[in-house]
Chains A and B, each alone.
Chain A
Amino acid sequence: MQEMNSALGAGTPDGSVAPGARRGALRSTATLAQDYLVLVMIAVLVLITAAVEPKFLLRANLVNIMRQFGPLIMVSMGMTFVIIGGFIDLSVAGTINLVAVVTISLIQPLGQVPALLIGLAIGAVCGLLNAVVILSSGALTQAEALFLTFGMSTVFSAFALLYSHGSTMHFWDIEASKSVFEGIGGGNLGPLSVSFVMFLSCLVVLWIFQEKTVEGRYIRLTGGNKTAARLAGVNVSRAIVLIYTLCGFMTGVGAIVLFSRITTAAPVIGAGYETNAILAVVVGGTTLLGGKGSVVRTVMGVLLVILMSNCLDLLNVSTYLQVAVKGAILVLAIWLDNRKRV
């Protein structure tokens, strides 16, 4: 807890503690309140569900939660950087579709390791294409990026459909060795699942990238004020390329974790991931305004989103209503974010 808070404090370049500052004290209280808010919401959710439905605490259910966590956290961590950079990426659903169907189809002809590497590369290239489209069209606002990446998502999905002829591929159809993917999908390393270890490693690397590197700072400055950053000699275009490529790559990782877990890849499996990832990032407390936020916050956001689905499932709430609840929470998170800014 202590450690988590200090990590969050470092998540803003101005630091959260500014003794004697005019609004510093107020601001850090607001930030702190939001951090606790997410944690409190998580705790409340867990307690209520555990009380109403004891099945929640069964090992099988907890494992299930961890498994759902895997793909979304990867995508959301990538998305965090896009949002810190002041942009947004709606193309992750299309990227997941494309990476999943291409990767699974290549296991048989090329072997599993080349398939894995190509899958990751496709993710990164999809992200890069987003950046190229955005930069070449001169789109410098979040709204423009929203529409452009939405367009790109349909393009990626269309390619996924064309490539797979709309059909679903299953692991059991593949004769070649697919141990790597089976490991990612269901293997364990000691007490932890492989996908959880992957998550932890990505989290550490990305956190260091976010906090300690020059490029990480460039991304923050770009999100904080593109014009000022550019006029101070920051390569804003490179930061934009970086955030989208990183997001594409992480989405590729997420796609692989996803189809490895469900052992099938259909050209539509990414549906909904863009809204869930944005929801998780914003609920975690990364502002859509850009400049501020942290992958650590996103972890909490994802946890909340996943727990919520799981609880609603266990409580037999209809899927339609679940979608409504999610939407309401996204609106609430953005509303709170805006209030905090005043």
Chain B
Amino acid sequence: MEAAGADVILSIRDVCKTFPGVRALDGVSVDVKRGTVHGIVGENGAGKSTLMKILSGVYEKDSGTVHFDGQRIERTTPHQSMQSGLAIIYQELNLVNTMSVGENVFLGRFREMGGMRGTHARAREILDSIGCKVSTGRLVSELSVSEKQMVEIAKALSFQSKLIIMDEPSSSLTGEELVELAKIIQQLKEQGISIIYISHKLAEIFEFCDVVSVMRDGRIIDTKPKTAFTRNELIAKMVGRTIENEYPPRPQCVGAPLMEVRRINTRKLHDISFTLHRGEILGLVGLVGAGRTEIVRALFGADKVRGHEVLIDGKPVAIRTPQDAKAAGLGFIPEDRKLQGLVLPFSVEANISMASFKKFSRLGFIRKSIERAIAARQVKALKVKTPSARVPVRNLSGGNQQKCIVGRWLEISPRIFIMDEPTRGIDVGAKYEIYVLMKEIAERGGAIILISSELPEVLNMANRVLTIFEGRITGELLPEKASADEIMTSALGMGRGAA
């Protein structure tokens, strides 16, 4: 028991956890000091989530010890761990959408708060303490993602939490909201609350954290003060090898116009018109809710939108449904992989073959051998890590799941590929592979519309950027020439005016 001093809020020693066939945690030891922000990085499948779930009581550990705030913790439940002052804010926030902000903060504890009036008053105090101005009477469903996150933080604070674990808190935040989050984290720190910050985004790790632990293959590979790490060293430790670059060189093969979009108008979108060229990667940049996703959904026929024109190769095409879009040569990677992209309980094979029935059916009958060959081809070509194409796609890591969706579309070689947050929540190695795929698609003459909340991704991959603000295109910039600041200014609607 070397370092279980009073300045350590959480001490984990030799924790192991095995699932059938997989050693998820293999002797994890780490100390989190009071009042620090402790970053944990690692590729998907490194064991971060398993470790957090053991701390919160969702899983039970096989062996090892956990001390929290001086108390040894053996078995716990999510509720008990919350009561004892350990709160977890998951990536997919756990709020009741149909209830108000105040009610969510004190869910199930209204009586202790002295009825609804007390509940709202106390919730107000907590929200004020983190500088959140959202009214406690508003419905959670009306809030933006970052506001919801603040409600989650308020909920954690309402339990007098001493340690708050944030699992990928920034995955759907953009620029300004991230600044807000940074402020809140700073305030929590000043109040003496410790934070475990899990993220794939190294920039945030370097900005927010005091200490960083790297996880790989169920172990903590290294724990050091942030200042002792260089960015490349961190990446190398995460993936277990050196990655020269985070991005492949940008494809340079922009050709003739391929698709022309004229005047998309909906309640949220105003006069969206643009041209997409062969071999081009076109980035759409904007805040969450600015209308980026709505634009591509309208293009793909996923939402009912009327009155706009789409020309491909100069010829008008009518896209009313996703089937029309597919027939016109469009492919679509939706923003929410699990809810919109995959059929989670189905096999890798069934998920890959989903868009190419024409290829493996005859007279309406499925030809199983061809379907298998299609799946095998894409699994091989995209290096999908899976024990077999017949396991449920749910068992794969985020990056490999995303590759299944990419492979699904590559199989029918779309000419226009829409990618909405294609690398959200996936690790550095898999990200790089997806960037290389994007480059290859462009170099073969395909065009890509890329939506991403990660500005560096757009800056490094896109040939051209359209900035979207409140449903309008507010600027057209070339990332090779424009700076990140210029693009953000334009995306915040403060640019000099648009194309």
A-side interface residues toward B, CB under 8 Å? 13-15, 17-27, 212-217, 220-221, 224-225, 227-235, 291-292
From A15, A20, A225, residue with most partner B Cβ within 10 Å: A225
Across the interface, do A228 and B22 meet the contact criterion of CB distance under 8 Å? no
Name B343's contact: one of A20, A27, A225 (CB within 8 Å).
A225
B398 CB–A CB distance under 8 Å:
no
Across the interface, do A22 and B395 meet the contact criterion of CB distance under 8 Å? yes
CB-CB nearest in chain B for A24: B391
Across the interface, do A15 and B347 meet the contact criterion of CB distance under 8 Å? yes
Across the interface, do A292 and B345 meet the contact criterion of CB distance under 8 Å? yes
CB distance from B69 to the nearest CB of A (A): 31
Residues of chain B in range 251-295 having any CB-CB distance to chain A below 8 Å: none
A-B contact pairs, 12 of them (CB 8 A): A13-B350, A14-B345, A14-B346, A21-B388, A21-B390, A23-B20, A23-B395, A213-B366, A214-B357, A214-B366, A221-B343, A233-B354
Across the interface, do B391 and A14 meet the contact criterion of CB distance under 8 Å? yes
CB distance from B62 to the nearest CB of A (A): 16
Name B387's contact: one of A20, A213, A216 (CB within 8 Å).
A20
With a cutoff of 8 Å between Cβ atoms, the chain A residues found around residue B208 in the complex are none
Q: Within the assembled complex, what's the spacing in Å between the Cα atoms of A19 and B390?
A: 9
With a cutoff of 8 Å between Cβ atoms, the chain B residues found around residue A214 in the complex are 357, 361, 364-366
With a cutoff of 8 Å between Cβ atoms, the chain A residues found around residue B343 in the complex are 221, 224-225, 228-229, 291
Across the interface, do A225 and B344 meet the contact criterion of CB distance under 8 Å? yes
CB-CB nearest in chain A for B326: A233
CB-CB nearest in chain A for B21: A22
Name A227's contact: one of B19, B339, B350, B388 (CB within 8 Å).
B339
Across the interface, do A21 and B391 meet the contact criterion of CB distance under 8 Å? yes
Name A14's contact: one of B22, B322, B347 (CB within 8 Å).
B347
CB distance from A238 to the nearest CB of B (A): 10
B323 CB–A CB distance under 8 Å:
yes
B124 CB–A CB distance under 8 Å:
no
B332 CB–A CB distance under 8 Å:
yes
Known: A23-B395, A234-B354. A18 touches B387 (CB 8 A): yes
Q: Within the assembled complex, what's the spacing in Å between the Cα atoms of A220 and B20?
A: 28
B42 CB–A CB distance under 8 Å:
no
9 interchain residue pairs of minimum CB distance:
A14-B347, A224-B343, A233-B326, A21-B391, A232-B354, A225-B343, A20-B387, A13-B350, A232-B355
Q: Within the assembled complex, what's the spacing in Å between the Cα atoms of A123 and B239?
A: 60
Q: Within the assembled complex, what's the spacing in Å between the Cα atoms of A291 and B354?
A: 14
Q: Within the assembled complex, what's the spacing in Å between the Cα atoms of A235 and B358?
A: 13
CB distance from A291 to the nearest CB of B (A): 6
Across the interface, do B21 and A233 meet the contact criterion of CB distance under 8 Å? no
Across the interface, do A13 and B21 meet the contact criterion of CB distance under 8 Å? no
B334 CB–A CB distance under 8 Å:
yes
B408 CB–A CB distance under 8 Å:
yes
CB distance from B363 to the nearest CB of A (A): 9
Across the interface, do B332 and A14 meet the contact criterion of CB distance under 8 Å? no
Q: Within the assembled complex, what's the spacing in Å between the Cα atoms of A234 and B21?
A: 35
With a cutoff of 8 Å between Cβ atoms, the chain B residues found around residue A20 in the complex are 21, 387-388
